[in-house]
């Protein structure tokens, strides 16, 4: 990020965690209300409930998802065929890029229908994302708690970060290397939450890389 961007976007907070690089914008201006965006994306996205294999057993993921972007992607053993960008998604992507100074070529949308939906602890460290992935995560709808747990330093407590609607969390640097993150079920019933994680798939051309 260069200096003019930093001055222009001085509204983020840096979250001080060892071995991590996390920036949080609490309220991003998306040019329209968060509620209307939530409604549009909920209604127009071609939601899937993907399967996951855990210790050889097939389960349905406890949430819905959709993958849009320039390239297909493998995620926890699932091959996600990408759908084309829509004008709405391109608009949010442009906003996330302007704020973070990063370029993204894909987005994974996660739809947590209610308090029973969740995402297990994981790190986004697939090879396709490169060595130090930058992932910008926009939240809409119900507030849910984002958990972060260091992979090896057991003395570090689990960090709980409440992500309000309209917030943008940028995970970059070594964050995926040293930390796992996830969203637990909630005990108290709650409404839907939509999360968009913008990513960059880096595809290596072996011939070029080996030069």
CA dihedral 199, 200, 206, 211 (to 10 degrees): -140
Cβ(78)–Cβ(169) below 8 Å? no
Q: How far is the CB of 181 from Mn ion (least distance, A)?
A: 6
Q: Is 31 helix (H, G, I), strand (E, B) or coil?
A: coil
Whichever of 95 and 181 has its CB closer to ligand AKG, that residue is: 181
Q: Counting contacts by CB under 6 A, is residue 198 touching ligand AKG?
A: no
Question: Interaction with ligand AKG in 94-133: which residues (CB under 6 A)?
Answer: 108, 110, 119, 124
Question: Which member of 124, 128, 142, 186 binds Mn ion (CB under 5 A)?
Answer: 124
Q: Counting contacts by CB under 5 A, is residue 128 touching Mn ion?
A: no
What DSSP designation does 181 have?
A: E
Partner from ligand AKG, Mn ion, none contacting 200, C-beta within 5 to 8 A by type: none
Whichever of 195 and 200 has its CB closer to ligand AKG, that residue is: 195
Partner from Mn ion, ligand AKG, none contacting 45, C-beta within 5 to 8 A by type: none
Dihedral of alpha carbons 104, 110, 115, 121, sign: negative
Question: How many C-beta neighbours within 10 Å does residue 141 have?
Answer: 21
Partner from Mn ion, ligand AKG, none contacting 123, C-beta within 5 to 8 A by type: none
Whichever of 124 and 128 has its CB closer to Mn ion, that residue is: 124
Tokens matching residue 60? 């349905």
Q: How far is the CB of 199 from Mn ion (least distance, A)?
A: 9
Tokens matching residue 176? 């995926």
Residue 117 CB partners (closer than 8 Å, separation 6+): 62, 63, 111, 185
Greatest distance between any 2 Cα atoms in the chain: 56
Binding site for ligand AKG (CB under 6 A): 108, 110, 119, 124, 137, 146, 181, 183, 195, 197
Binding site for Mn ion (CB under 5 A): 124
């Amino acid at each position: 990020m260069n200096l003019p961007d930093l001055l222009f976007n001085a509204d983020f907070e840096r979250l001080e965690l060892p071995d991590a690089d996390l920036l949080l914008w609490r309220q991003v201006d998306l040019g329209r209300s968060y509620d209307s965006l939530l409604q549009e994306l909920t209604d127009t996205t071609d939601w899937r409930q993907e399967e996951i294999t855990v210790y050889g057993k097939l389960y349905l993921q406890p949430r819905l998802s959709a993958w849009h972007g320039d390239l297909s992607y493998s995620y926890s053993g699932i091959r996600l065929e990408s759908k084309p960008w829509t004008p709405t998604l391109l608009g949010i992507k442009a906003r996330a890029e302007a704020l973070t100074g990063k370029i993204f070529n894909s987005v994974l949308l996660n739809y947590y229908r209610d308090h029973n939906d969740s995402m297990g602890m994981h790190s986004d460290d697939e090879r396709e994302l490169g060595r130090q992935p930058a992932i910008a995560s926009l939240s809409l709808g119900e507030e849910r708690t984002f958990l972060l747990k260091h992979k090896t330093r057991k003395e570090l407590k689990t960090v709980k970060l409440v992500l309000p609607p309209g917030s943008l969390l940028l995970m970059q640097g070594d964050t995926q290397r040293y930390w796992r993150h996830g969203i637990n079920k909630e005990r108290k019933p709650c409404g839907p939450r939509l999360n968009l994680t913008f990513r960059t798939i880096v595809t290596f051309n072996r011939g070029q890389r080996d030069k």
